[in-house]
Structures are given as structure tokens and as C-alpha cells.
Amino acid sequence: MKVFGNAIARISLVLVLVLPLCVHADVLNDILDRGKIRVGVSLFAPWAMRDKAGELIGFEIDVSKKLAGEMGVDPEFKVYAWTDIIPALNRGDIDVIIAGMAITPQRALQLNFTLPYAESGVGLATNTRMTEGIKDLRELNRPQIIVAAAAKTLGSDVAKLVFDAADLRILATGAEAERAVLDGKAHAYVGGLVETTFLSLQHPDKVDTPLSKPLLVSVAGMGVKKGDQELLNFLNAWITARAADKWLAATQKHWFSSLKWRDRVAPQ
């Protein structure tokens, strides 16, 4: 009886170890069986937006549709406030986060990231007239130079490090910082790469983006629930393939380097 009892215990231990792996491995199969992949997004231009008909458009939407099509399933989009999107993933309400989420060690404690599929970061926009004689980034880091940034953002953190000798104005919002540069009340604005790029595209006669590279580069990854290894493997393979054929780069360029899509977006 003791031998029999030991055998039962060993079998039970094997089942305890194996069953969670089987459950996690089935997430990809569940997606294929239901014919839908549930994608969590947040509304940030140009990552994901509503068009005038109320439909979702943007970089993440194109990525999700392409990904789903190559899986042979349909994308089912679920829109969340930014603070709610990781909890939704961990509850099992969605299969994947595709929302321009920067890969950070802190977030990696809560979910598993794929390989990077997009780049972003912190950029610099300058008032063209006020900085026309400035040829070097170091010349902006002087007491007589006013640098604007939005409070509690990565842009303000970077500005404090890069422009520690300048007259740094930390304003309540990014819109206020942008307006300071447009109105000639600040020489420069340090903010998200998307915001600084679009500011110069919208006001090419007043604003320039003088740097060839961002002040800080960050990379975005898709997020899956911890343990969903088979899904993670597929997503990594897809990203590798679409990076190799330049589809990801071309799609990001369309959404992030021009405003050709702006007339499609619903008014805020």
C-alpha cells in the first residue's frame, strides 16, 4: 500500500507540474478555435483613434488586422483606459495588448513582452525664429534659453537631465508646452516623439525638429499574459517576419511621419 501511495503521489506531482503548461499552451489554440484574437488598445493618436464613422484606425489597428489576417482569424478590439489595460490582460478579458506599450522592467513584472515592433521616444521641437543661430544641442543648455516640458512625463524627466543649465519651465500639459514654443515664449519643447514631430508637421513655418535622432529612444512590445508561451512564440515570429520585409517600418512611417490621415479622424 505504501508503494502504491508513493506512486499516486508521484503521478499527482507530475499532473500539478504539467497541467498549467497545457492550459497556457491552449491560449493560441483557443484563438484559432474561436476565430478571433481579442486585442486590447488605448486611444492615442496615431496609435489608435476613431474615424468620423466611429471605426478604429491607426498604426496599432493596421498591425492588429495584419497579424490577425495572417493567423487566419479576425481581430476583436477592446478599448481601455491606459491604467486598465494590463489588469484586463491578466483577467483574461483580452489575449494581447497592442497599444504602443514601451518595454520596461517594471511592466515586465506584470506581463510578458514580445520582441519590439515599433520605436518611439522623447523628441525636441524648437521655435525656428528664436533658435535660428543655434547649431549645437549644447547651445540650448544655457540660462538664457527657455525649455518647456509637461509635468509628470518622460519628456520632463529627460529635459531635467539634458537641459540642466537652461531655464526649464515645467507646464501642466503638453498642449501648454507646445503653445509656449508656438507663441515664442519658449525656445524649445521636450516631449513625446510623436507630439514633437506632429507639432513641426502642423506648423512648419514656426517649428523645427532639429535632431536627426530622438533625445531618448524607447521601443514598444506587444504584451501577453505570463505563461502564454505558444502565443508569445507566434507573435515573435510574426514580428521578425514583418520587420524583415519592412512592412512594420513602412506602416509606422505612414502613421508617424505625415498627417495624410488627419482628415479621417473624428473631431475631439
Give the per-residue pLDDT at 13.
Answer: 45
Q: What is the mean pLDDT of residues 110-128?
A: 96
Q: What percent of the chain has pLDDT over 90?
A: 80
Residue with more model confidence, 73 or 260:
73
pLDDT digits (tens, 9 = 90+) for 143-186: 999 999 999 888 999 999 999 999 999 999 999 999 999 999 99
Q: How confident is the model at residue 108 (pLDDT cuts 50, 70, 90)?
A: very high
Entry pTM? 0.79
Lowest mean pLDDT among 4-8, 28-32, 200-204, 248-252: 4-8
pLDDT at 15 over 60: no
Q: Read out DSSP for 75-126?
A: EEEEE--GGGHHHHHHHTS-SEE-S-PBP-HHHHTTSEEEEEEEEEEEEEEE
Question: All domains of the chain, ordered by start, with CATH?
Answer: 26-111+225-264 (3.40.190.10), 121-217 (3.40.190.10)
Q: How confident is the model at residue 116 (pLDDT cuts 50, 70, 90)?
A: very high
Run of H or E including 253: helix 247-256
Q: How confident is the model at residue 268 (pLDDT cuts 50, 70, 90)?
A: low
d(CA 138, CA 99): 34
Angle 58-202-181 (CA atoms, 0-180°, nearest 5)?
120
Q: What percent of the chain has pLDDT over 70?
A: 90
d(CA 96, CA 71): 14
Helices (H), 140-202: 154-162, 174-182, 193-202
Alpha carbon 36 to its chain's center = 22
Angle of the 59-71 helix axis to the 247-256 helix axis, nearest 10: 150
Give the per-residue pLDDT at 120.
Answer: 87
Give the per-residue pLDDT at 93.
Answer: 98
pLDDT at 42 over 90: yes
